[in-house]
Amino acid sequence: MSVSMKAKVRVFLKAGVLDVQGKAVEQALHGLGFAGVSEVRVGRLIDFDVAGTDPAKAKAEVEAMCHRLLANPVIESFEVEIV
């Protein structure tokens, strides 16, 4: 039986980078009458299994994936969680 862990990667635009999607969602929420909403930021959650039993090793590997594919490190920051 193969052993694996669950990786959760949260990717958000870096602070200071204009979040066009967040801005659009915020305006739409205001339009719908949710007046109290502010500072909307839209990111994404990527969820997958990684083989192995060493969480530290898996985390390092997933971070490498983020740098090379899952996130755009020029404008995005990411958080990796191994469960």
* Two tokens, residue 81: 């969680």
27 counts as binding other proteins under rule CB under 8 A: yes
Phi, psi of 16 (to 5 degrees): 95, -15
First to last CA, the chain: 18
Contact window for other proteins (CB under 8 A) among 1-9, 40-48, 53-61, 69-77: 69-77
44 counts as binding other proteins under rule CB under 8 A: no
24 counts as binding other proteins under rule CB under 8 A: yes
9 counts as binding other proteins under rule CB under 8 A: no
45 counts as binding other proteins under rule CB under 8 A: no
Strands across the sheet containing 76-82: 44-51, 4-13, 76-82
CB of 72 to other proteins, least distance (A): 7
Element (H, E) at 79: strand 76-82
List contacts with other proteins (CB under 8 A): 13-20, 23-24, 27, 72-75
